[in-house]
Amino acid sequence: MQLFTRTQCADCRLVARWLERHAVDNLVQVDVDTVDGAAESDFQDVLSTPTLIDDGGARYTGAEDIVRVLKSRKVRRVHT
């Protein structure tokens, strides 16, 4: 799964705090404020942050939906 975030995004900070509290570490976080992150978000057609794309290609946006999805799965975070 990939989580697309940006620095100046309030919902992104909410999701980040949830990830930190729950020690999630098998989730690829993509910072769209970086050159590589911007390229990946363009490739994946990510139009807003936060956006979660699961392994099946389903997309979730907004902190509430993303946290709900993450709670329903056992995920671990991996930084890129």
Instruction: Give the tens place of pLDDT for each residue, 5-55.
Output: 999 999 999 999 998 888 777 789 999 999 999 999 999 999 999 999 988
Q: What is the DSSP string of 14-51?
A: HHHHHHHHTT--SSEEEETTSHHHHHHHHHTT--SSSE
Q: What is the pLDDT of residue 75?
A: 62
Domain extent at residue 72: 2-79
**Which CATH number is 23's domain given?**
3.40.30.10
pLDDT of residue 77: 53
Please, which residues bridge with residue 30 across strands? Answer: 4
pTM equals 0.85
In which residue are the tokens 């990510």 written? 46
When pLDDT is averaged across residues 47-72 and rounded to a whole number, the result is 91
Number of domains in the chain: 1
Question: Is the pLDDT confidence value at 79 over 80?
Answer: no
What span, in angstroms and rounded, lies between the C-alpha atoms of 12 and 18?
10
